[in-house]
DNA sequence: CGACCATTTGATATGGATCAAGCGATGTGG
DNA sequence: CCACATCGCTTGATCCATATCAAATGGTCG
């Protein structure tokens, strides 16, 4: 939403005749990515940041022992790839076929220097990313049940359709986000189903039957 | 350093005669806190943010089961308590006797709206906080040895004196930062000592004898 | 010196990882 | 249209890293 207003601001306000601030340069064309296609790699120059139009995206790092840690999931409307340093600190891939708006960082930075509302939006986006990282961090010190419950509540909040959620990501993605194995995620979901806390009409579709119980687990 | 320049900017540039932007209101007096004194509590209004002058600070949350998770440690020069929402999401306490500069949020926000360098600094501080949270997050999915090694390297980078580090925090603080128990932290340090990777002249003082080994563990 | 608190060390228990197999859906080629 | 391969997920059996419980040690301050 805030990201949306960055785009709106740049395209709707009268712009001086500098090519950097023209809406074409700033927004670029929405770009399609296939399932599992790389959007950018860790350590690549962070000259662009991105906004999800449709589909879903994951950012991740691979540890030396081959384990993968997912940093975040991004859904339509979310901005990702905005870095404080010169390089991306995670890699990014499309989880499902995705359309992504590619935004030139230098253009927005230049714009922010003159338009304080743009600067405010950049700050707000970064601040929300920080809050999300902190929430994620708190999940990683909990039990498997608490992590899975927290994940389900997060996704239910972020994806429309209050109590029925269609997850875009695989069990492996969930496991790598929560610092668990795929087996533990699967077993925990089964437990929650047996406790009638959730229902699993299909493996990707999850119905929250008892939010209270999930919140209690999430503590 | 960036935070420093916020303060310098506000005190050295000519300021219009608005009380909000006067340097007194903005900076306030450096405030002393005793060991373990609360600086602010979770969910309290985030009307101020803070900069460590001397001593050390921890931010933390207490989970429903009583376990405490430390979000970050702050050392002299570090800014903390800068939130995207209206309330603090962690509590903050002095680890050791500390002097802390108390800064009025609304004043800096107002200033940032007119001075884009201030806005840039706010963004940079938030961005570095995000990077730190992401690094912390990556630690929490590793083995005990890797977490402790990563912690030692982080502290060695942040505290002066390359290879000899005087830690301001207790084993319990370290354990709650790393999502381990105090016993596991202690045992791991002992192991590293036996492997001649570190030396422990006193329990709070740690000498890094083999950075390479620590980096390998940290992977 | 003695009490207290932080830290270390030791013995045992356990949650989740690992290893292994089975199952169900999806898609492909004959 | 069906047999079969593949892939994602679930379930089962065992193992291990770290938690937990318990006690000893050491450093600090009155």
Same domain, A123 and A159: no
Same domain, A90 and A178: no
pLDDT tens digits along B117-157: 999 999 999 999 999 999 999 999 999 999 999 999 999 99
- How is residue A171 written in tokens? 């069990």
Pairwise CA distance, residues B65 & A27, whole Å: 47
Output the tens digit of pLDDT for each of chain A's 219 residues: 434 445 443 344 443 333 333 344 566 789 999 999 999 999 999 999 999 999 999 999 999 999 999 999 999 999 999 999 999 999 999 999 999 999 999 999 999 999 999 999 999 999 999 999 999 999 999 999 999 999 999 999 999 777 899 999 999 999 999 999 999 999 999 999 999 999 999 999 999 999 999 999 887
B67: in domain: yes
Pairwise CA distance, residues A142 & A218, whole Å: 9
pTM for the full model?
Answer: 0.90
Q: Which residue has the higher pLDDT, B2 or B100?
A: B100
Q: What is the CATH classification number for the domain harbouring B98?
A: 2.60.120.10
| B88 contacts on A by Cβ (under 8 Å) | none
Return residues 62-91 of A near B (CB < 8 Å): 63-65, 67, 69, 71, 83-85, 89-90
Same domain, A159 and A94: no
Q: Which domain holds residue A91?
A: 2-133
Domain edge (last residue) among B109, B133, B157: B133
Q: What is the pLDDT of residue A154?
A: 97
B186: in domain: yes
Question: Strands A98-104 and A48-54: what pairing?
Answer: antiparallel
Same domain, B35 and B124: yes
B52: in domain: yes
Is there a contact between A145 and A188 (Cβ–Cβ < 8 Å)?
Answer: yes
Name the E strands within B16-158.
Answer: 30-33, 38-40, 48-54, 57-62, 68-74, 79-80, 91-94, 98-104
Is there a contact between A186 and A148 (Cβ–Cβ < 8 Å)?
Answer: no
Pairwise CA distance, residues B185 & B191, whole Å: 10
Q: What is the pLDDT of residue B29?
A: 80
In strand D, which positions have an atom below 7 A from any protein CB? 8-13, 17-22, 27-28
Same domain, A20 and A122: yes
Same domain, B75 and B171: no
Same domain, A25 and A112: yes
Q: What is the CATH classification number for the domain harbouring B189?
A: 1.10.10.10
Same domain, A63 and A13: yes
Domain edge (last residue) among B108, B133, B158: B133
Same domain, A78 and A158: no
Asked whether residue A170's C-beta has any atom of DNA/RNA strand D within 7 A, the reply is: yes
| Count of structural domains, chain A | 2
B18: in domain: yes
B138: in domain: no
Interchain contact, A123 vs B124, CB within 8 Å = no
Q: CB under 8 Å to B35, separation ≥6 — which residues?
A: B94, B95, B96, B97
Same domain, B37 and B102: yes
**Taking the CB of residue B64, how many other CB atoms lie within 10 A of it?**
10
A205: in domain: yes
Domain edge (last residue) among A133, A152, A186: A133
Same domain, B44 and B100: yes
A51: in domain: yes
Inter-CA distances, B215 with A120, B135, B179, Å: 38, 14, 20
Same domain, B25 and B98: yes
The residues pairing with A194 across neighbouring beta strands, listed in sequence order, are none
Give the mean model confidence (pLDDT) for residues B49-69.
Answer: 96
Query: Is the Cβ of B124 closer than 8 Å to some Cβ of chain A?
Result: yes
B139: in domain: no
- Three-class SS state of B50: strand
Q: What is the pLDDT of residue B198?
A: 97
Interchain contact, B126 vs A131, CB within 8 Å = no
């Amino acid at each position: 939403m805030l990201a949306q207003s960055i785009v709106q601001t740049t395209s709707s306000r009268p712009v001086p005749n500098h090519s950097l601030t023209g809406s074409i340069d700033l927004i670029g064309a929405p770009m399609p990515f296939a399932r599992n296609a790389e959007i950018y790699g860790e350590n690549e120059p962070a000259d662009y940041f991105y906004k999800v139009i449709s589909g879903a995206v994951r950012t991740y790092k691979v540890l030396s022992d081959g384990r993968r840690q997912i940093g975040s999931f991004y859904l339509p409307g979310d901005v990702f790839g905005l870095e404080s340093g010169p390089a991306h600190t995670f890699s990014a891939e499309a989880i499902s076929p995705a359309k992504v708006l590619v935004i030139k960082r230098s253009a927005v930075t230049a714009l922010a220097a003159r338009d304080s509302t743009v600067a405010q939006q950049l700050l707000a986006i970064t601040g929300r990313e920080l809050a999300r990282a902190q929430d994620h961090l708190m999940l990683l010190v909990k039990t498997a049940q608490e992590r899975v419950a927290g994940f389900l509540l997060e996704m239910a909040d972020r994806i429309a359709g209050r109590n029925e959620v269609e997850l875009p990501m695989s069990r492996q993605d969930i496991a790598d986000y929560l610092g668990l194995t795929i087996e533990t995620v699967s077993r925990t979901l089964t437990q929650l189903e047996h406790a009638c806390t959730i229902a699993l009409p299909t493996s990707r579709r999850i119905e929250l039957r008892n939010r209270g119980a999930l919140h209690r687990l999430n503590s």
